[in-house]
Structure 1
């Protein structure tokens, strides 16, 4: 079986898609709280708006690809397991409000089943719920040296609550930057972990 990558026009198209995604990531990372237009992304890669969208099929699909690339980059830097509440990852989010705003905006729109980002968010939340629940039962989600939570607690519920709080705090922070999103998330994590430990010690389910 050949291990060669795509060649010819396919390789050029894949390379151009990657160039556009990287340009979009940079644009959103630098944007602060303002929005980013397709034209701004196109100018960064020396293309027209239509040329950029041609590689993705539409604006929403392009933005979905940007979020997917952000997830991949974060996993490469911090590892896939238990990254949600690592202080360094939270600091990155605080430093890139444009990407946080893109996530919040697209997540709301993706509730519609026909939206290009619907499958991405559905799969993302399912994966994160499983990952966080496992981290809660097998070890702390920040990878610290504290003892693991008890395996007989309702970690699935805790994972849903923590993920919901994460998204809600991101929105509050976008509306009011004085909210210390990172500190609030770390504090909530510790409160939930303590509640799980208490429930486990009582034998609750």
Structure 2
């Protein structure tokens, strides 16, 4: 028997179908936000009935959670969260920004939902609150490791640097979505970080 490590049979079909639904969910939620996007529209995009879609995801909130998890999985390919080298962590984040330039749907989803989710009653509110805390801590830790190695400009506070980097990354996404030809998100982030460090990026 040959073991390929790939899902087979009905499991493979189910996993593939779930991925199609999630990608359609990204498109629908990106275009109209969570509140306007409907299960019916997502089902139509993948050629399914609403009942068929609800066989894979019990409700709209569960689908949203899975869409956000997919986005995080893609992000973790660039930043594992286990880097011991702070500089490499920051480099990984910039590579992630470069990747985001190739997936405008995901960028639109993040930008739209993060704005909607400032409302406490939004189903993704707690997710974005937790995500911001985690991302801020993750980047702060990277800058702290760099500071310990003398790689930060004297006087730079790691926590403030992390907040600034998040602001640049999020703000650049909005500007890029408005005019993709006028702004390079990765380069904007890179230029900001270069102001904070004493080593080559």
TM-score (normalised: structure 1): 0.67
Indicate whether 1:22 and 2:9 are aligned.
no
Once the two structures are superposed, the pairs formed by residues 17-166 of structure 1 within 5 Å of their partners are 21-27=18-24, 38-39=39-40, 41-43=42-44, 46-49=47-50, 51-52=52-53, 55-58=57-60, 61-76=62-77, 78-80=79-81, 81=83, 82=89, 86-139=93-146, 148-149=151-152, 153-166=156-169
Q: Which residue of 2 aligns with 1:176?
A: 179
Partner of 2:195: 191
Give the unaligned 5+ runs of structure 1: 1-11, 141-145, 198-205
After the TM superposition, which of the residue ranges 171-180 and 65-74 deviates more from structure 2? 65-74
Total equivalences in the alignment: 175
Kindly state the Cα deviation for residue 29 of structure 1 after the two structures are TM-superposed.
Answer: 7.3
1:122/1:86 CA distance change after superposition, 3 Å: closer
TM-score normalised to structure 2 length: 0.69
Cα-Cα RMSD: 3.6
5+ long unaligned stretches in structure 2 = 1-10, 84-88
Equivalent residues of 2:90, 2:142 under 8 A apart: no
Alpha-carbon displacement from aligned partner over 1:84-137 (angstroms, at most 9, x marks no partner):
754432222001101100000000011011111011111111011111001011
Change (3 A) 1:53 1:118: farther
Alpha carbons 1:25, 1:70 under 8 Å: kept = no
Cα 1:193–1:155 change in 2 (3 A) is same
